Amino acid sequence: MHIIAITLALVVCVIHVYILVLEMFLWDQPRGMKAFGLSPDFAKATKVLAANQGLYNGFLAAGIAWALVVGQRDALLFVLGCVAVAGLYGAATASRKILLIQTVPAAAAMAAVLLLG
């Protein structure tokens, strides 16, 4: 696989590890509340739900890492596609900035995998 494709996929992987940390461990801390625009009461009430979301983001990161390690191009495209769709859904239902944080990087990585190999 081309170095640009690998690098872009790793960027998406790192983004999702960071989201995991924010949602699972920092949700009700100042950094997490600032990242998601949460009030302390809301953060406290939704902490368990956020941890569940964080776990799913961790699975996306793990899928990307696994596909890169074993050199599975099709698996990488599948997981990146899942990230892009999740970003589209998040942008439509929660915040448009998710489009830039999730969908655009995933789409760029997918394009690099498809065009550069």
> What pLDDT was estimated at residue 117?
74
Q: For residue 30, give Cα distances in angstroms to 45, 55, 62.
A: 15, 20, 27
The domain limits of the chain are 3-116
Q: Token pair for residue 12?
A: 């998406």
> What pLDDT was estimated at residue 55?
97
Full-model pTM: 0.92
| 96, amino acid identity | R
All residue ranges of the chain with pLDDT < 70 are: none
Alpha-helical (H) ranges within 1-117 are: 3-24, 30-36, 40-45, 47-70, 73-93, 97-98, 104-116
